[in-house]
Amino acid sequence: MGRVLTLLRISPSECVDIEELAGRLQKIEGANKVSVEDYVFGTKIIKASFIGESEEQQDFEEIVSKVDGVETVQVEECGLIS
């Protein structure tokens, strides 16, 4: 089969250290790139990409939503990369 890239937009809960949260997300198996970005009205979000095997069918949205300190998770893109 191939590999699947999933790009997520993650909003942290209030009063969470966003850099520390990004570090915890980077440790998830399959994490490719995790970065903190400016969003609207001075808030910040985390953009994270994950790579998994297509036959494994990992649901990174569900995995990330269970991380303590994550408020919401939205899939921005998902597709085969090879």
List the beta strands (DSSP E) in the chain.
Answer: 3-12, 31-38, 44-53, 70-80
Show the tokens assigned to 38.
Answer: 């400016």
Task: Tell me the three state secondary structure of residue 24.
Answer: helix
CA distance 26 to 29: 8
The tens digit of pLDDT for each residue in 28-73 reads 999 999 999 999 998 999 999 999 987 777 899 999 999 999 999 9
Which residues, in sequence order, are CB contacts of 65 under 8 Å at separation 6+? 72, 73
Q: Which domains does the chain have, with CATH numbers?
A: 3-80 (3.30.70.60)
**What's the pLDDT band for 77 if we cut at 50, 70, 90?**
very high
